[in-house]
Amino acid sequence: MLSHLRGTFCVLSAGVQRAWSSSSCLFMDPSSPGLVLQSQSTDVFQNLALEDWIDAHVDLQQRSILLLWRNRPAVVIGRHQNPWAECSLPAMRSAQVPVARRRSGGGTVYHDLGNLNLTFFASKKAYDRRRNLKVVTDALRRVRPQLDVQATDRLDILLNGQYKISGTASRLSRKSSYHHCTLLHSADRSAIATLLRPSCPGIRSNATPSVPSPVANLTDHAPSLQWEELLEAVVQQYSSEFGLTSASRCVDPADEVLFPGIGSMEAELCSWEWTFGKTPKFRVETQLELRDEQPVARCSAELQLEVKNGLVETCRVEVPAAWLPERLSASLAQALLGERFCPHRAAAALSTLLRCESGPLHGRLRNLCDVLVAAMG
């Protein structure tokens, strides 16, 4: 029997509720070779940690799992992507939207409460992404037969042949695999335009680029489709496609008893070293506009930075010698070496250095500092 969902995202109905005190009860139950889980959390890091935990600890040779989850607004980048190139970190800071790096490959997505995430866990042998997407498209066709939804070769799901409503990414480990995809039910599309643009100009990198596509929400074309209805349809379709008689269960990713060790997985996913430090090496090459206020004067300078593991590895600032002596601009560039590629770290280092350099050129130096910090996103 499937549980009915009301009001808040997840409520357990009495018939299906089971008290499980440890993960072994939940995952080793021989009576259900398949399992459908719904996460109670809307924190992107907790949910990603839950995915990691299931991938690492559950024996997927015997069973498959479908995990349903959604997050409060967040931007999720792929494993090998460059967060500075994919999203505008200043805009995200002011909107208080976090950025998270997932462990699977692929491109950048914007998550909010109107976006459903589905993760299909299976053994490496049972890894079949098309079959998983078929579950989603069949479920949609069943509840709204008039919707034209098709999975493409790139494993996107297109609505009416042109709007992307779902994107896919996956991860293969030694014995297990997971394939997750998004499904846009009623997400805030205006946020996507504001947030998913580069943080600073001039980034040159080999990181996996995102392929932007026009997107649409399911509710734009089927306004009567309720969230709970969508969930139930997907769960039913999963069960019938894989021949499983699983009931859907709610889990709390913050429960350390049910998922021992999940706290440290979450901490790793939040850490700067994972989110930014794992960025493949990239360069920043851009022009800087310098100006004097009194009298008004202008000058162009060039900035060339190389960033490895999120830290500034080399930095060259070429300012015309007539504007600032080379010694001064070189000392500013030197101050950035070894620091994180971050405007605040740069501000701290440069402000400290500025204290030593007082004199008639102090104003121009100050201006150069401000411009350098602005170029770092």
Partner 1 sequence: MAAVTRGSFSALRVLLTQQYRRRSFGPQNLRLSRTEPVPSRWAASLQTSCSRTLHTAMARHRPVVQFKLSDIGEGIMEVTVKEWYVKEGDRVSQFDSICEVQSDKASVTITSRYDGVIRRLYYDADATALVGKPLVDIETESASELSQEDVVETPAMAHEEHTHQEIKGHKTQATPAVRRLAMENNIKLSEVVGTGKDGRILKEDILNFLAKQTGAILPPAPLFQEIQTPGPAPVAAPPLSAPAGVRPPPATPRPVFTGKDVTEPLKGFHKAMVKTMTAALKIPHFGYCDEVDLSRLVLLRSELKPVAERRGVKLSYLPFFIKAASLSLLHFPILNSTLDEGCQNITFKASHNIGVAMDTSQGLLVPSVKSVQLLSVFQVAQELTRLQALGAAGQLGTAELSGGTFTLSNIGSIGGTYAKPVILPPEVAIGALGKIQVLPRFDPDGQVKAAHIMKVSWSADHRLIDGATMCRFSNLWREYLENPASMVLDLK
Residues in touch with partner 1 (CB under 8 A): 56, 78-80, 93, 103-107, 124, 127-129, 155, 168-174, 206, 208, 278, 280, 312, 334-339, 343-345, 347-356, 358-359, 366, 369-370, 373
Spell out a b/e string for 36-54, using b for 16 or more CB atoms within 10 Å of the CB, else e: bbbbbbbbbbbbbbbbbbb
Element (H, E) at 93: helix 89-95
Minimum distance from CB of 47 to partner 1 (Å)?
18
Closest CA to 72 of 42, 108, 102: 42
Minimum distance from CB of 73 to partner 1 (Å)?
18
Minimum distance from CB of 93 to partner 1 (Å)?
7
The nearer residue to partner 1, 127 or 238, going by C-beta atoms, is: 127
- Answer left, alpha or beta for residue 253, where phi above 0 means left and psi between -120 and 50 means alpha: alpha
The nearer residue to partner 1, 68 or 169, going by C-beta atoms, is: 169
Q: Which two tokens stand for residue 240?
A: 């019938």
Minimum distance from CB of 157 to partner 1 (Å)?
13
The nearer residue to partner 1, 13 or 62, going by C-beta atoms, is: 62
Minimum distance from CB of 272 to partner 1 (Å)?
9
The nearer residue to partner 1, 10 or 269, going by C-beta atoms, is: 269
First and final C-alpha spacing in the chain? 51
Q: How far apart (Å, rounded) are the C-alpha atoms in residues 124 and 128?
A: 9
The nearer residue to partner 1, 9 or 121, going by C-beta atoms, is: 121
The nearer residue to partner 1, 19 or 356, going by C-beta atoms, is: 356
Q: How far apart (Å, rounded) are the C-alpha atoms in residues 117 and 317?
A: 44
How distant, in Å, are the alpha carbons of 17, 102, 199, 328, 363 from that of 368? 63, 36, 19, 10, 9
Minimum distance from CB of 351 to partner 1 (Å)?
4
Q: How far apart (Å, rounded) are the C-alpha atoms in residues 22 and 328?
A: 62
